């Protein structure tokens, strides 16, 4: 939590005023028992109705002023807590976006969502309650104890002993409650993951008739979350009854000792009533303080989880890049000889997704000239996507080098590198908004003419027309589009940038052969001659490529033109023949 306190720096004034106004409210409350004691000892005893009326009016005044002060304190604490959560969530979101694919994979989407939502909300509630009660409750407790010492120091020892016992109880419960609350939040991560998977994959679940199994699995995780919440709740629930029992035992003791002293004329009846009121105030405030401890425990558990995300630093930072890196890359580019001229070069590259895992790529080497089209083909898990993920530096290599214009991509500014790369993923991802807004992700200042040019190249004119033009609305995740329509729009989004490098990660899988053929023809006619990497399961989609790379189990098992591979690469020949046999039978 300490690391997150910096998000309160813009609300220092509110953080001071909120507890100060709460202390003013507490002062007014501490005066009331004294007023009640004077009414009993002087007004009622002497039957002085005028005196009683004045004191009652004083109590009403204290109540009204106390209400105004309390509302003011609530305003300042709410403002500080809301501002804290706003800045924290914005910074956390930026930090998460700065993650490389590696950190995002390790942490998982579900836990990041939970920490951005539930955990930040818990931290906000904790700040709000802390500012309202962290001074008020202790102030009233110790203020009541001091008032008791002023009335009778011997009876006040009862107060002191009671407070010590209560603080010991609270400390013990807090010690065991924080870990239990953290485990409960971890169970919530799992539920968030299952919810996300079931909502996004509901058609697959129905297709395989697995509704009952998923419902049972979800129920088991809900029960586990409930079990952990109950365990944490049982510990938290001990605070209130234990506080009530301890305080009421001491109230009985107070009344007994007070009655003895009244009979001995050592105390007045009003003073005993005042002591009783002070002990009642202590009871109420300790209950509030116990609830504050529960809230703070939850906030601390959530704050620790948020801090864990901040502690996870990106291995490939995007924001705050070193300008020196850009200068060095420019020097390196200028130093290249005209004879090299390779746009992309893989130099004995090895890569693994996890440090302790197997190699996804092993000793990959090839060179690509500007304007060449490279086809990549292979079985599932052969490493096709891993290769293209290394070009824009979504991941860092474990061995070897990936060179862009002769410069190691590790030495290039991330934003500069990725701004020159257009990527079309296998799973088309679109966002809620207009077609124009979605395509401007490729180029923020793209004109309507540039957008329509990219749409035509991507063979997506009919998609735009069916939505009433580029202002047509796309629903969340492109739900109002077919798979092929979404893929063509994502291709247009990449093309609008006019990048130096185009990467198609099996992005024609939802396109028919005719549309795929037209698209490849248009790509070959582009005036700016991008270097194209095309991953495909179809040999027909890549047979015109300048070079085809055949992957198997993370290694290159063949490289060359379509005709060369049919002669020299058994795996490529098997893939090609199996596809053409299917087409002939069809």
Is the same domain home to 202 and 337? Answer: no
Is the same domain home to 368 and 305? Answer: no
Residue 367 covered by a domain? yes
Q: Which of 100-104, 131-135, 367-371, 539-543 has the lowest mean pLDDT?
A: 100-104
Q: Is the pLDDT of residue 323 over 80?
A: no
Point out the domain boundary residue: 252, 284, 311: 311
- Give this prediction's pTM: 0.67
**Measured between alpha carbons, how far is 586 from 578 in angstroms, rounded to an integer?**
12
Q: Which residues contact 182 (CB under 8 A, 6 or more apart)?
A: 301, 304, 305
Is the same domain home to 206 and 289? Answer: yes
Is the same domain home to 213 and 306? Answer: yes
Average pLDDT over residues 441-460: 90
Residue 547 covered by a domain? yes
Is the same domain home to 274 and 156? Answer: yes
Is the same domain home to 293 and 390? Answer: no
Is the same domain home to 51 and 144? Answer: yes
pLDDT class for 136, splitting at 50, 70, 90? confident
Is the same domain home to 266 and 135? Answer: yes
Is the same domain home to 225 and 111? Answer: yes
**Measured between alpha carbons, how far is 88 from 99 in angstroms, rounded to an integer?**
17
Q: Which of 68-72, 211-215, 544-548 has the lowest mean pLDDT?
A: 211-215
Residue 319 covered by a domain? no
Q: Is the pLDDT of residue 340 over 60?
A: no
* Percent of the residues in the chain that have a pLDDT greater than 70, as a whole number: 94
User: Which domain range does residue 268 map to?
Assistant: 8-311
Residue 90 covered by a domain? yes
Give the count of domains, the chain.
Answer: 2
pLDDT tens for 275-303 read: 888 888 887 887 787 778 778 878 888 88
DSSP H or E run through 262: helix 239-263
pLDDT tens for 222-241 read: 898 888 888 888 877 787 78
Backbone angles phi, psi at 498, to 5 degrees: 50, 60
User: CA-CA distances (angstroms) from residue 158 to 64, 77, 144, 212, 254?
Assistant: 32, 34, 12, 61, 7
Q: Is the pLDDT of residue 89 over 90?
A: yes
User: CA-CA distances (angstroms) from residue 294 to 185, 283, 284, 289, 412?
Assistant: 14, 17, 16, 9, 49
pLDDT class for 40, splitting at 50, 70, 90? confident
Residue 579 covered by a domain? yes
pLDDT class for 374, splitting at 50, 70, 90? very high
- Classified as helix, coil or strand, 257 is helix
DSSP 409: G
Q: Is the pLDDT of residue 338 over 50?
A: no
Q: pLDDT at position 11, please?
A: 92
Residue 87 covered by a domain? yes
pLDDT class for 476, splitting at 50, 70, 90? confident
Q: Is the pLDDT of residue 147 over 70?
A: yes
Average pLDDT over residues 194-220: 83
Q: What is the side-by-side order of every strand in the sheet holding 399-404? A: 361-369, 342-351, 399-404, 407-408
Bridge partners of residue 560, in order along the sequence: 548
Q: Which of 64-78, 181-195, 353-367, 541-555 has the lowest mean pLDDT?
A: 181-195
**Measured between alpha carbons, how far is 274 from 523 in angstroms, rounded to an integer?**
89
pLDDT tens for 168-204 read: 887 787 778 777 877 887 787 788 778 877 877 787 8
**Measured between alpha carbons, how far is 440 from 360 in angstroms, rounded to an integer?**
34
CA angle 13, 14, 15 (to 5 degrees): 90
Is the same domain home to 228 and 374? Answer: no
Q: pLDDT at position 274, please?
A: 86
pLDDT tens for 387-446 read: 999 999 988 899 999 999 989 998 888 888 888 999 988 788 888 899 999 999 888 888
DSSP H or E run through 21: helix 12-38
Q: pLDDT at position 324, please?
A: 47
Residue 430 contacts residue 474 (beta carbons within 8 Å)? yes
Q: Residue 409: which of 388, 382, 426, 385 has the closest Cα?
A: 388
**Measured between alpha carbons, how far is 511 from 554 in angstroms, rounded to an integer?**
27
Residue 322 covered by a domain? no
Is the same domain home to 416 and 283? Answer: no
Q: pLDDT at position 510, please?
A: 64
- Classified as helix, coil or strand, 573 is helix
Average pLDDT over residues 51-76: 91
Token pair 């106004």 in the structure block, residue? 21
Residue 511 covered by a domain? no
Q: pLDDT at position 169, please?
A: 83
Helix axes 239-263, 153-200, angle to 10 degrees: 170
Is the same domain home to 170 and 66? Answer: yes
The mean pLDDT value of the chain amounts to 84
Q: Is the pLDDT of residue 242 over 90?
A: no
Domain CATH for 140: 1.20.1560.10
Point out the domain boundary residue: 248, 282, 311: 311
Q: pLDDT at position 327, please?
A: 47
Residue 557 contacts residue 571 (beta carbons within 8 Å)? yes
Point out the domain boundary residue: 277, 311, 345: 311
Domain CATH for 380: 3.40.50.300
């Amino acid at each position: 939590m300490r690391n997150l306190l910096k998000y309160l720096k813009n609300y220092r004034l509110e953080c001071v005023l909120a507890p100060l106004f709460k202390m003013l409210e507490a002062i007014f409350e501490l005066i009331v028992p004294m007023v009640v004691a004077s009414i009993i000892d002087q007004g009622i005893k002497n039957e002085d109705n005028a005196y009683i009326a004045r004191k009652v009016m004083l109590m009403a005044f204290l109540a009204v002023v106390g209400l105004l002060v309390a509302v003011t304190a609530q305003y300042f604490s709410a403002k500080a807590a809301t501002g804290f959560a706003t800045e924290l969530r914005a910074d956390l979101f930026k930090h998460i976006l700065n993650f490389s694919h590696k950190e995002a994979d390790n942490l998982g989407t579900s836990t990041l969502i939970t920490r951005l939502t539930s955990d930040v909300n818990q931290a906000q509630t904790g700040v709000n309650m802390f500012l309202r009660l962290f001074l008020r409750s202790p102030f009233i407790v110790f203020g009541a104890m001091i008032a008791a010492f002023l009335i009778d120091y011997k009876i006040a020892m009862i107060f002191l002993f009671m407070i010590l016992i209560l603080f010991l109880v609270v400390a013990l419960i807090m010690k065991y409650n924080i870990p239990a609350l953290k485990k409960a939040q971890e169970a919530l991560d799992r539920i968030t993951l299952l919810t996300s998977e079931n909502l996004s994959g509901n058609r697959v679940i129905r297709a395989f008739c697995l509704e009952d199994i998923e419902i049972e699995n979800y129920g088991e995780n809900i029960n586990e979350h409930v079990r952990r919440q109950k365990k944490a709740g049982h510990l938290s629930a001990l605070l209130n009854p234990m506080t009530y029992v301890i305080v009421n035992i001491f109230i009985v003791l107070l009344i007994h000792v007070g009655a003895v002293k009244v009979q001995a004329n050592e105390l007045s009846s009003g003073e005993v009533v005042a002591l009783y009121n002070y002990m009642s105030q202590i009871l109420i405030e300790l209950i509030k303080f116990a609830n504050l401890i529960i809230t703070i425990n939850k906030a601390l558990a959530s704050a620790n989880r948020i801090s864990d995300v901040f502690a996870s630093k990106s291995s490939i930072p995007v924001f705050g890049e070193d300008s020196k890196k850009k200068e060095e890359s420019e020097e390196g580019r200028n130093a290249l000889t005209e004879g090299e001229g390779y746009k992309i070069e893989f130099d004995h590259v090895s890569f693994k997704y996890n440090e302790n895992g197997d190699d996804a790529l092993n000793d990959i080497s090839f060179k690509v000239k500007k304007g060449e089209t490279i086809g990549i083909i292979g079985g599932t898990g052969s490493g096709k996507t891993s290769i293209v993920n290394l070009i824009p530096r979504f991941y860092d290599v474990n061995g070897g080098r990936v060179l862009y214009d002769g410069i190691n991509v590790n030495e290039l500014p991330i934003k500069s590198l990725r701004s020159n790369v257009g990527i079309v993923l296998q799973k088309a991802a679109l966002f809620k908004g207009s077609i124009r807004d979605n395509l401007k992700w490729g180029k923020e200042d793209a004109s309507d003419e540039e957008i329509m040019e990219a749409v035509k190249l991507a063979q997506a004119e009919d998609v735009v027309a069916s939505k009433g033009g580029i202002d047509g609305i796309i629903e969340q995740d492109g739900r109002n589009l077919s798979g092929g329509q979404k893929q063509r729009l994502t291709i247009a989004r990449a093309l609008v940038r006019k990048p130096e490098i185009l990467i198609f990660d099996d992005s024609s899988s939802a396109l028919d052969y005719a549309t795929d053929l037209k698209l490849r023809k248009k790509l070959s006619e582009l005036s700016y001659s991008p270097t194209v990497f095309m991953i495909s399961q179809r040999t027909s989609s890549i047979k015109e490529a300048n070079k085809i790379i055949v992957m198997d189990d993370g290694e290159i098992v063949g490289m060359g033109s379509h005709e060369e591979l049919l002669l020299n690469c058994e795996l490529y020949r098997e893939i090609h023949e199996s596809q053409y046999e299917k087409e002939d039978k069809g």
